[in-house]
Amino acid sequence: MSGVVPTAPEQPTDEVENQVKSPDPRPDAPPDYNSHLVPGPPGPAIPPSAGHAGSLPMGLYSPPQPHNFPLYQPAGGTHPIQYQPGKYPMPNQPVPVTWMPAPGHMPNCPPGLEYLTQLDIIHVFQHFEPLEMMTSFETNNRYDIKNNLDQMVYVVTEDTDDYTRNAYRTLRPFVLRVTDYMGREIMTMQRPFRCSCCCFCCPSTRQELEVQSPPGVTIGFVAEHWNLCRAVYSIQNEKKENVMRVRGPCSTYGCGSDSVFEVKSLDGTTDTGSIIRKWNGLLSAMSDADHFEIQFPLDLDVKMKAMIFGACFLIDFMYFERSPTRRSSR
């Protein structure tokens, strides 16, 4: 009997299979179980969300993807228009800017000026340029045009070469380009060079601004008139016929107070609007980052609104544009 090797008793085949399929001893493995859930009828198909490449199963939220949203897209409702979706921008993304909803096309209105038909007050904010204060290098002016709801209406950018800006400073000829939310140039303002070394009463020394909308089509001029005490301008149509007058204060540099330029009829009896340079405290005293408030009647002709809008920039360059202090060469 010593040569016989004891063997384990034979087990049924079912018990052997149960031992092979024993639960996984790892703690993170789920236990084996049979689901008693009875599947119901299939539900309706859900189409993918607009603006997304695909869809996710129900119950999962997919955050909006920035590249799927068009930039500067007009909206007919009351929802604000933003550069980028989302309430809190990432550090490397531009700050959301709200644009005024684009109005529809209007007859007898130059394209792009439809915004002005819905406004009676607009604000002009000049960008603060610290480079000018630190280096005395004159840079192109930039302005944001907004309504009373702080919605962007236009962007105005100066287009002047470096030599002209720094050689002629505040007397420089310039071209201002007005663009809308799509980047379309809807208005152009041009100021020719006028020598200031002659007598002030000479017509060749008086400043002038031409306004075009659309670019290439002149809608009017803003012409300076000589006056001993105050700033006086005339707003003219495309034929250079006087339509309105702008009358400034005796002291155009309102230190500590607003400077009001009244827009009146030719006979001076009717107030048509005003151009107000707002006093911003220390910022107004030390830099040329100005804030203007332009007021006109809501039912005023849109071309005349554009002319009052253009007169604001000629006033800014003549009285409130400060040249950076030139550093001594010693």
Give pLDDT tens digits for 46-57: 555 554 454 445
Q: How many CA atoms lie within 13 A of 283 on its CB side?
A: 13
Q: Read off the tokens for 94.
A: 């531009």
Buried b (16+ CB within 10 A) or exposed e, 229-252: eebebbbbbeeeeebbbbbbbeee
Q: What is the pLDDT of residue 5?
A: 52
C-alpha span between 116 and 180 (Å, rounded): 12
- Residue 277 CA to residue 313 CA, distance in Å, equals 11
What is the structure's pLDDT at 59? 47
Residue range 83-103, pLDDT digits in tens = 444 455 555 666 688 999 989
- Give CB contacts under 8 A, 24+ apart, made by 63-69: 66/93
Supply 216's token pair: 């290439």
Given this model, what pLDDT does residue 250 score? 80
Residues 6+ apart with CB under 8 A from 308: 235, 244, 246, 263, 272, 273, 275, 294, 296
pTM (two decimals): 0.68
The pLDDT, as a whole number, for residue 13 is: 53
Structure tokens at 44: 């309706």
In sequence order, the β-bridge partners of residue 188 are: 177, 212
Which two structure tokens, joined as six digits, stand for 202?
């000479």
Contact 315, 253 (CB under 8 A): no
Residue keyed to tokens 């012409």: 223
The amino acid present at 29, given as its one-letter code, is A
Are the C-beta atoms of residues 183 and 159 closer than 8 Å to each other?
no
Q: What pLDDT, on the 0 to 100 scale, is given for residue 170?
A: 80
Residue 296 and residue 305 in contact, taking contact as beta carbons nearer than 8 Å: yes
Low-confidence ranges of the chain (pLDDT < 50): 1, 16-17, 20, 51-52, 54-56, 58-73, 75, 77-78, 81, 83-86, 326-330
pLDDT of residue 148: 95
Residue 9: per-residue pLDDT = 54
Amino acid code (one letter) for 198: C
- pLDDT for 139 equals 86
Domain limits, the chain: 114-320
pLDDT of 132 reads 72
Rg, the chain, Cα only: 35
Q: Is the dihedral of CA 194, 199, 200, 202 positive or negative?
A: negative
Q: Judge if the upstream peptide bond of residue 89 is cis by omega within 30 degrees of 0.
A: no
CATH code assigned to 114-320: 3.20.90
User: Which residues sit opposite 143 in a β-bridge?
Assistant: 126, 156
Give 210's strand partners. Answer: 190, 221
The predicted structure's pLDDT at residue 239:
94
The answer to whether 260 touches 276, Cβ cutoff 8 Å, is: yes
Dihedral of the alpha carbons of 299, 301, 310, 284, in degrees to the nearest 10: -10
Tens-digit pLDDT profile for residues 94-143: 668 899 998 988 988 999 999 999 999 999 999 987 777 777 788 899 99
Distance CA 258, CA 276 (A): 7
- β-bridge mates for residue 122, sequence order: 294
